[in-house]
Structure formats: structure tokens, C-alpha cells
Structure 1
């Protein structure tokens, strides 16, 4: 992506403004990148921990393996999942606030003793699964934004700023050469006029 410029003072001013803007924006973008990198690392840890808790809860539910044929799965239904948004380094990510389960219309005295405990364990597993999905969504969003920010930093550092600086040097050299030629021409005209 080569920058386009003309060899005049207006173009020189435009390039200087552009360079100044990019040099001012670069530290901010780098800070955003490092903040996103830290947040991605933190979210990966939380996601891994959530997966581990989910596996542990699945192991807890294995004690009901032989009893699932008698279990009414309508006792555990998610009614609503409440999410909120939080901004991290300018990136909006979803946060799990609450999982609301539908209250079953059942007479608990007619149920087996283990059913109420199984309902609580299944609700815990369901909440962990939803939390894991939300964390995965956070991770995907943050990772995507971190990659975009890294690309922008690299674009500024390795492409745009060096090209703009090179363009400024070329314009300055051209203007200096033009000025020197003009002065030399004036001296030649003066010396001709003095000789005549």
C-alpha cells in the first residue's frame, strides 16, 4: 500500500499531520492490544476452569446413571438466561448474570428422595454449561479483536509510518533541490546582468 503524494508544501503538511496522528495513536493502540492480550489470557483460564468444573459436575451426576430412566427431565428447564454487556478495552463482551430455571409444578412428596438432589445437580451442570458457552463467546470475541488490533499496530509500525516518513523525506529533498536550483538560476542571472 504505497501512499500517494505530490511534490509540494501542501502535500508535505498533509503527510506531517498524518504522521503526527499515527504516532499519537500508536501507543494507545499498543495499550489496547496489551489489555486485550491480558484479558484473553484471563478468559482462557476462566474457560478452562469452567470446563473442569463441568467435568466434575458430570462425574457427580454419574451416581444417578441407573436411575435416569425413572427421572422426569421436565423438572429441569431453563426459563431465561440473563446476560449483560461489559466493555473491555473498547470491546463489548457478554457477561452471564443469571440463569433462571422454570419452577416445576410437581408435588415433591410423591417423588423419590434422590430426585430433588438430582434436580439441583442437573441445574448446577446446566448453569456451568451455559457459563462455559458464554466464556467461549467472550474468548472468541476478545481473540478476534486482539488479532485486529495487532494487525493495526503492525500496519502502523511496519508499513504506514515508514512510508509516510519516506514520502516526507522525498518531498523535502525535492523542495530543497528546487530551492537550490532557483537560487543558482538567480545567481546566474545576476552574474549575466553584472557582466553585461
Structure 2
């Protein structure tokens, strides 16, 4: 990124302001990146935990696979999933508040004995599956924000701050050279005037 500037004091002052602003913001952005990195890991670990619990629960009830054919699939459905918003390092992420189920009544005497357990198993499987999806989404959102923050850190650290410093150095050198030239010119003029003054005295 080429930084546009002019060789004057106004431009020097403006570049100085821009440089200070970035130098001041950099530690904050770096700490945000670090916080996001840690939160991405937490969300990923939580998603992994829910996935493992889900798999473990499925395996625990593998022996019931043949019974599920008898299960009335209209007996239970998810009526609503309530999510809230949790802000993590300035990023809005979903948080599962509640899973609401709609359960149809069934006859305890004519239905198989395991129906009550089956309903609870399905509720647990659904909850774990939804928690996994929520944490997965949370991880995606946080990771996206982390990548954007890392880009900003790199932009400031590797491009903009060195660019502004270089531009400021160039302006200062130019202004010093101009000042030296001006002093030299003044000396020459003074010397010529002195010589002219001495010549007229002769």
C-alpha cells in the first residue's frame, strides 16, 4: 500500500497522527486476536465434546435399533429452539437457551414399555445435536472474526506502520536537505556581499 504524502510540514503532521493512531491501536487489536484465538479453541473443544457425547449416546442405544421400527415417529417433535446472543470479544455468537419439544400423549398400557425411555433418549440426542451445531456455528463466527483481526494486525504491523515511518523519514530528510541548501545559499550570498563590499572599498 503506497502512502500518499507531500514534502511539507502539514503532511508530516498528518502522517505522524496516522502513525500514532495505528501504534496505539495495535496492542488492543493484538489482544483481541489472542482472545479470539482462545475462544475459537474453546468453542471447537465444546463442539467436539458434544459430538463425542452424541456418538457415545448413539452407541449406548445401538442395541435398540430393531425396536425403533415400532416407535411412533409422530410422538415427539422439536417445537422451538430458543437462542440468545452472547458477545465474545465484540463478536455476536449464538447461545442455546432452550429446546422446546412437542410430545403427543400416548397410552401407557397399550404402548411398548420402552416408549418413555425412547422419548427421553430422543430428547437427549436432539439436545446434544443442537448444542453441537450451535458451538460449531459459534466457532465459525469467532474464527472468521479472528482471521479478519489477524489480517488487520498484519496490515498495521507489516504494511501501514513501516509505510508511515518510511514516509515520515523521507519528508524529514527532504526538509533537512532543503534547510541545508537554504543555509548554504544564504552563506554564499553573504560571502558574495562581503566580497562585493570589500571590492568597493578598494
TM-score of the aligned structures, taking structure 1 as reference length: 0.97
Deviates more, 1:68-77 or 1:13-22: 68-77
Match of 2:7 in 1: 7
Q: Quote the Cα distance in structure 1 between the aligned partners of 2:157 and 2:145.
A: 18
Give RMSD over aligned pairs: 1.0
Q: Quote the Cα distance in structure 2 between the aligned partners of 1:119 and 1:159.
A: 59
Q: Quote the Cα distance in structure 1 between the aligned partners of 2:121 and 2:106.
A: 18
Q: Quick check: 1:33–1:150 contact (8 Å CA) kept in 2?
A: yes
Shift in Å, 1:44? 1.3
Q: Quote the Cα distance in structure 2 between the aligned partners of 1:61 and 1:123.
A: 13
Residue 72 (1) aligns with residue 72 (2): yes
- 1:99-138 map, 5 Å: 99-138=99-138
How far does the alpha carbon of each residue in 1:37-84 deviate from its partner, in whole angstroms, 9 at most, with x for none? 111111111111111000011113322211112111112200000101
Q: Quick check: 1:46–1:135 contact (8 Å CA) kept in 2?
A: yes
Shift in Å, 1:135? 0.7
SS at match of 2:180: helix
Q: Quote the Cα distance in structure 2 between the aligned partners of 1:34 and 1:52.
A: 27
Match of 1:35 in 2: 35
SS at match of 2:79: strand
Q: Quick check: 1:76–1:101 contact (8 Å CA) kept in 2?
A: yes
Shift in Å, 1:153? 0.5
Structure 1 moving runs of 4+ over 6 Å: none
Shift in Å, 1:158? 0.8
- 1:81-100 map, 5 Å: 81-100=81-100
Q: Return the index of the structure with the highest Cα Rg.
A: 2
Match of 1:188 in 2: 188
Deviates more, 1:184-193 or 1:167-176: 184-193
> Aligned residue pairs: how many?
196
SS at match of 2:80: strand
Q: Quick check: 1:61–1:118 contact (8 Å CA) kept in 2?
A: no
Structure 2, unmatched stretches of 5+, are 197-202
Q: Quote the Cα distance in structure 1 between the aligned partners of 2:131 and 2:8.
A: 59
How far does the alpha carbon of each residue in 1:151-194 deviate from its partner, in whole angstroms, 9 at most, with x for none? 11111111110111000000000001111111111111112222
Q: Quote the Cα distance in structure 2 between the aligned partners of 1:117 and 1:79.
A: 20
Q: Quick check: 1:19–1:165 contact (8 Å CA) kept in 2?
A: yes
